[in-house]
Structure 1
Amino acid sequence: MPDDRRSSFFQALTGRAGADVSGTAGGDVRGMLIAAYGASRRDPAKPDTAAAAKSLGVSQRTVQRWLADPTRQQRYRPRADLLTKLSTRARQAATTKRGRERAIRDTLLAKGLPTGMRVSVTGQQGPERAYARFRTANFDLDDPSLSSGFVTAYIDGGDQGAIDWLRDNSDLTYNMDRWYFGDVEDVEIRGPYGRG
């Protein structure tokens, strides 16, 4: 379950949809490339094959072959050493401060969202543990200091840092003195008051 939460926060804050940050060598190659190197400037749905090739020491065409249609993927899989390196880089993008900072700098901060955002968290949660149930709670971070504080908490502490920040600031963002988080299944980030 922590991997799901890590993935949800990473995808929401970086905009890297489909990113695989599990760190398992048997994971989705496309998802690991998106997590580690971001999306292509030409097509945001595809990974940045040039950055991946440069980092992994292979040609860009080799990386493109890894992304070939599924019927040919068995033939064009990365070598074991490259797959290990790729899965490590993908995991580190979400588990290290440096990786999170780089991923957010490339996407979220470029969009200008730290001027305000709405964080929607879906999962087991409530005002107290006894009242926790499966729900979606919207936390309005409409003040620039709140949104930058949330982003900084995520960069510094990862998904647990973000959860702790939301819990500690629930009186400012959700009008509740305290808030309990159990399992988090999904996280979505939009502009202030749900825009964007």
Structure 2
Amino acid sequence: MLTLHHLGISQSERVIWLLEELELPYALKHYTRDPVTLLSPPELKAVHPSGTAPLLTTEEGVTIAESGAIVQFILARYGNGRLAPAVQDADFAHYLYWFHFANGNLVPHLGRVMFFGLAGVAANHSAMGFAHERVTRALAMLNDRLAETPWLAGAEFSAADVMNVFGVTTMLHFSPWDLNPYPHILAWLERVSQRPAYQRARRKGDLA
């Protein structure tokens, strides 16, 4: 059985959701952040040198880190073509782009705003202005894509949606952002909220 090492309020929620969408059996091991530093507990470092979550331990005892890598591993081994268009599919390029948009664009820019704020960088500082502009641009791109199609890869829900929802839900606990100017993102989140697998993942893994 797969074992998912899950840290509350983290990117590991993506993996719980994916496993629920695929209806795969798995064991869920919960960890809790330090309430002051918000850092991962030391027990996670005993599982993998990164000391972060998510971590997925396979049936063979191999432990994989990084949510994107874990999602790709699960789809490749257990997906049977579900939640990812085939390479020859017309939507494959969109799927690949938006899958990587999450951790290559949206979440890093929100994280930069968070860390600048923790460091006391003034709101009118040029570095903070740059960080805000990149978040605004990323959200506008996401909103524009969702104005064209119900799901990020196209007409069908996919793992690209699984990867990106974190950035406009749970990540906003750390880097608050007003989503009201982005109606298509809000409509997308409403569609997501109706998915039974997402509802189960919320109950199991404290999703926002």
Q: Which has the larger Rg?
A: 1
* Global fold match (TM > 0.5): no
Quickly name the TM-score band, shorter chain normalised. Answer: under 0.3
TM-score, structure 1 length as denominator?
0.27
Query: Higher strand share goes to which structure?
Result: 1
